[in-house]
Chains A and B, each alone.
Chain A
Amino acid sequence: MRTHLLGLAAFVALGLAYPVLFPSALTIAITILLFVGWATAWDVLGGWAGQVSLGHAAFVGLGAYFVAIGVTEYGLAPWWSALLGMAVAAALAFAWGWLTFGLRGPYFTLSTIAFAEILRLVAINEGWLTGGATGVFIMTLPEPFGLDLFDRQTQYWLALGFAVLVIGIVVALSRGRFGYALRAVREDEDAAMAAGIDPKRTKLKAFMLSGALTALGGGLYGIVLSFLEPHVMFYLLLSVQIALTAIIGGRGTIWGPAAGAMVLIGSGEVFRTTFAEANLLIYGVLILVIVLFAPRGLVGEATRRAIRRRYAKRAQS
């Protein structure tokens, strides 16, 4: 626990220093922080509860659209509509989990793809609700305490707050009753049941938490883009990217998803500016290399090595 709190403190310190060091590269930092939050939130379900979702873009889109439509159609302040979006995301996750958690193996994963795709088609075709295929602009936002929400600096602090919040929740959970229940369910559902844990209930809670947090980040993403199109918001590749980030970083480890986001999104930006045309290709190769040589994910592998070393030392002495 203490190591994790120290880690969180270090993360915050890094976050505070970044804008001073790179004042003109905030967009990429915001993207990384959003992915830190999304991947960590994904991991609550995918890593801790062991249910791989490839439909998390649905929650991103949901959060973004609640904020955008709330502001443009109903004059609702973004923080209220983000909360509303989180509530709806949690409700959808509940309904979805209720229906599908009876399924095991790859079925749940495949159903999440279909879930996000259907939401995408609805967002495109129901223009009265979402502005339709031509998209929605967010032109004006309220200014709480004189803060300009369109300003990259402000957005950076919000993104940092989002990432820290999600990691903080996971750190708190990891030592709580719920965290243990999740791991028990992941390892062996039947044994968990014997220990008095309701696996379905536990997984449902994880899904709801994961969905709601992802939607919160989605709301922020909407403000950063300030122009939403359904093709972009509910994009299958975004779902895939969120899952990839967490898995490469290391599922079920507290810092894995965050590390994954920093390495993948960070290197993607380096490739964008240096290799230009070949960047997505290199991204693919990188993923393959990581899978082949560090299959537990970056952090998972590092932890394993550290533990081994500790045991080896102990055996020597």
Chain B
Amino acid sequence: MLDLAIFIQNLANGLLIGGVYALIGVGLTLVFGVMRTINFAHGDFVVLGMYGAVLFDLVFGFDPYLSLLIALPVAFVVGMVVERAILAPIADAPAESSLLATLGLSLIIGNLLLLTFGGEPRSVQVPYASDTVRIGEVNLSVVLLAAGAATTAMIGALYWFLERTERGRAVRATAENRLGAELVGIDTRRVQSFVFGMGTALAVTAGVTLIPLLFATPTFTGAIFTLKAFVVTVLGGLGRVGAAIGGGLLLGVVEVLGASYFLSEYRDAYGLLAFLLVLLLRPEGLFGKTVKRV
């Protein structure tokens, strides 16, 4: 039964889906790295991106990818505002406060969407939804490839930003050592709201990329993505961008291969089991360097 062509097919699908997981995970891990906040509304920002694309499709009727032109800057600003209004004031409160605040935010986003759009699952119908590209024996979905391309572009841009720009260095410095960063004159409060804006923008991008592929429901879909993002970041190692990418790809492959060759009804459990194993055996993550003692 282990046909090589089918195996490669599954592997390719796993990697492409893993790419999208990575994109979602990167935003979460970035925010955690800098702010030490586990953002429970992260998945809801993904869903917000999906609904943005749906709205864009309803109003203008253009391809959902074009909506990124509007969605990206808007998401960035929304993220900054949310950070300033909700997270910054409780920065010095006990750690659970920010968790709680983002949980509240998640409830608010989901139910606002429910009130505006109704509970019916929404998607955008693109003409190429079921098209495939054939490479040798392998059929690759055009939508998945597009998602992969968008992921690569976004993560590439993020790397360039973090490594090559002054502000990117400030972000890395803040993540590495907040006090040290402040000592060398970095305004870490501004960095934090900037990073939260970026995290939001990444989540929204993932949402837009995913909408031709799957469906958005106001309250349900968000929780699923949040959970996936947790798994991805812990698999790789919390707070590290590169690790989240590795974790995302790994999760995609583990899920697809598990569902292909073992019991498909336990598909989600494969990711979770991998997550637990990593937590227990290598809590710093598969791609993390040292154990972070808090």
Contact between A and B in the complex (any CB pair below 8 Å): yes
Q: Which of B105, B269, B292, B294 contacts A284 (CB 8 A)?
A: B105
Interchain CB contact under 8 A, A114 and B100: no
A residues near B136, Cβ cutoff 8 Å: none
Q: A102-B283, A117-B272, A291-B97 are in contact. Are A285 and B104 (CB under 8 A)?
A: yes
In the assembled complex, how far is the CB of residue B280 from the closest CB belonging to chain A, in whole angstroms? 5
B-side contacts of A125, CB under 8 Å = 263, 265-266
User: What 1/0 flags go to A250-272 for Cβ under 8 Å of B?
Assistant: 01000000000000000000000
B interface: dominant SS: helix
Contact B90 A283 (CB under 8 A): no
Does A287 lie within 8 Å of B104, measured CB to CB?
Answer: yes
Q: B230 an interface residue at 8 Å Cβ cutoff? A: yes
**A100 is an interface residue with CB less than 8 A from chain B:** yes
* Interface residue ranges of B172-227 to A (CB < 8 Å): 219, 223, 227
- In this complex, how many residues of chain B approach chain A with their Cβ under 8 Å: the count is 45
Q: CA of A99 to CA of B110 in the docked complex: distance in angstroms? A: 35
**A/B interface sample: 24 pairs, CB < 8 A:** A52-B99, A100-B280, A104-B293, A105-B292, A109-B38, A110-B234, A110-B275, A111-B276, A113-B230, A114-B275, A115-B276, A118-B269, A118-B273, A125-B266, A244-B103, A247-B96, A278-B115, A280-B114, A284-B107, A285-B108, A287-B100, A291-B97, A292-B89, A296-B93
Give Cα distance in the complex from A121 to B292, angstroms.
31
* B276 / chain A contacts, CB cutoff of 8 Å: 111, 114-115, 118
- Structural contact, A287 and B103, CB atoms closer than 8 A: yes
| Distance of A295 Cα from B104 Cα, bound (Å) | 13
**Chain B residues with CB under 8 A of A284:** 104-108, 111
Q: Identify the A interface with B (CB < 8 A).
A: 52, 99-100, 102-107, 109-111, 113-115, 117-118, 121, 124-125, 236-237, 240, 244, 247-248, 251, 277-278, 280-281, 283-288, 291-292, 295-296
User: For the complex, is B12 an interface residue (Cβ under 8 Å from A)?
Assistant: no
Contacts of B89 in A (CB 8 A): 292
User: Which of the residues A237, A247, A286 comes within 8 Å of B223, measured between beta carbons?
Assistant: A237
Interface of A is mostly: helix
Min C-beta distance of A33 to chain B, whole Å? 23
- Using CB atoms and an 8 Å cutoff, list the residues of chain B in contact with chain A: 32, 38, 86, 89-90, 93-94, 96-97, 99-101, 103-108, 110-112, 114-115, 219, 223, 227, 230-231, 234, 238, 263, 265-266, 268-269, 272-273, 275-276, 279-280, 283, 292-294
Asked if B227 and A291 sit within 8 Å, CB to CB, the answer is: no
Complex CA–CA separation, A240 to B96 (angstroms): 12
Q: How far is the CA of A196 from the CA of B105 in the complex (A)?
A: 42
Give the residues in chain A near B231, CB-CB below 8 Å. Answer: 114
Shortest distance between the CB of B98 and any CB in chain A (Å): 8
User: Smallest CB–CB gap between A51 and chain B, Å?
Assistant: 11
User: Is the Cβ of B266 less than 8 Å from the Cβ of A113?
Assistant: no
A186 vs B293: C-alpha distance in the bound complex, in angstroms? 16
